[in-house]
Amino acid sequence: MPRTKCEVWSRSVGYLRPVEQWNEGKQQEFKDRQTFDRQLKTQEIEKSC
């Protein structure tokens, strides 16, 4: 099955636009972002208290 390119959108300065259209600096910042599971993080905090 052939692969289809996926277009990634994100919010920047209050509106949505394709990440591909961002400048190189913003694209690298997007790649460097770390995501986390909010619920999992909450559970970890509750366990440590």
pLDDT tens for the chain, 49 residues: list them: 788 888 888 876 677 788 888 899 989 988 998 877 767 666 666 666 6
43 alpha carbon, distance to own chain's centre: 22
DSSP for residue 5: P
Q: Could you give the C-alpha distances from 5 to 11, 18, 21, 30, 31, in angstroms and in order? A: 20, 13, 15, 18, 17
pLDDT at site 49: 60
CB 24 within 8 A of CB 10: no
In one-letter notation, the amino acid at residue 47 is K
The number of CA neighbours under 13 Å toward the Cβ of 5 is 4
